[in-house]
Chain A
Amino acid sequence: QKEVEQDPGPLSVPEGAIVSLNCTYSNSAFQYFMWYRQYSRKGPELLMYTYSSGNKEDGRFTAQVDKSSKYISLFIRDSQPSDSATYLCAMSSPDYGGSQGNLIFGKGTKLSVKP
């Protein structure tokens, strides 16, 4: 079992739809959870960061972490064509494998929002 599982999609939705992106993980030591957005041929940019469990909201984006289920989600409300990108989940623990700061990424979900 991979440490972080993420459905690669592609996911295609109409403009205005609510989008739900998800990752599951196996390492219970993970405490830091992030969502990155990566446009085609660009580097990832940090979208949301959550420490431990709970919800975090930023504009149209909501990140949820359920540590008991080892499951994290990113919701995008009122999706826009400009949201079309690959969304990568990433996570880490304070001293993961002796390499602090080592992010473990999911493979990414490719999202397309159609006008």
Chain B
Amino acid sequence: DAMVIQNPRYQVTQFGKPVTLSCSQTLNHNVMYWYQQKSSQAPKLLFHYYDKDFNNEADTPDNFQSRRPNTSFCFLDIRSPGLGDAAMYLCATSRDHRVETQYFGPGTRLLVL
């Protein structure tokens, strides 16, 4: 029944070592989002895909990249993780740009050593 799946749920990486987080969806939604949520803070949108169109938020660091090879999958690549990148990374999907249709995955908690 899981609709938005994120793998892994927990990821430990070393300072500067590239890491990839995965998101998949069974909803066939057009839009996929990546949010970063630090402890006791609001989720912050990093970027989103509308189909294959990539939309980067202005303040998203260049260290963060994303790929969407098909409708079902979307990846978040962190090229050189710093200690400040330790956070929960949330994937969400929506059928279109209507915000009320956004569904969130369970998140991947990233720890940078």
Give me the interface of A with B, judged by CB distance under 8 Å. 4, 8, 32, 34, 36, 41-46, 49, 51, 88, 90, 92, 99-108
A101 with B98, Cβ < 8 A, contacts A8-B40, A43-B90, A88-B43 known: yes
Interface flags, B77-113, vs A, CB<8A=1, else 0: 0000000000010101010111110111111010000
Across the interface, do A92 and B45 meet the contact criterion of CB distance under 8 Å? no
Please list the 3 inter-chain residue pairs (A to B) with the smallest Cβ-Cβ separation, ordered nearest first: A43-B104, A105-B42, A100-B97
Closest Cβ of chain A to B82, distance in Å, is 22
Residues of A within 8 A of B42 (CB): 4, 88, 104-108
Closest Cβ of chain A to B28, distance in Å, is 17
Closest Cβ of chain A to B86, distance in Å, is 14
Closest Cβ of chain A to B104, distance in Å, is 4
In the complex, A107→B97 CA distance in Å?
23
Across the interface, do B107 and A42 meet the contact criterion of CB distance under 8 Å? yes
Across the interface, do B57 and A45 meet the contact criterion of CB distance under 8 Å? no
| CB nearest neighbor in A for B103 | A46
Residues of B within 8 A of A41 (CB): 88, 107, 109
B41 at the interface (CB under 8 A from A): yes
| CB nearest neighbor in B for A107 | B42
In the complex, A88→B102 CA distance in Å?
14
Across the interface, do B48 and A107 meet the contact criterion of CB distance under 8 Å? no
Which residues between 1 and 51 of chain B lie within 8 Å of chain A, taking CB atoms? 4, 6, 31, 33, 40-45, 48
Across the interface, do A99 and B99 meet the contact criterion of CB distance under 8 Å? no
Closest Cβ of chain A to B112, distance in Å, is 18
In the complex, A45→B3 CA distance in Å?
12
21 interchain pairs, CB-CB under 8 A: A4-B42, A8-B40, A41-B107, A42-B107, A43-B105, A43-B107, A44-B90, A45-B104, A46-B103, A51-B100, A99-B45, A99-B48, A100-B97, A101-B31, A101-B33, A101-B48, A103-B45, A104-B42, A107-B40, A107-B42, A108-B42
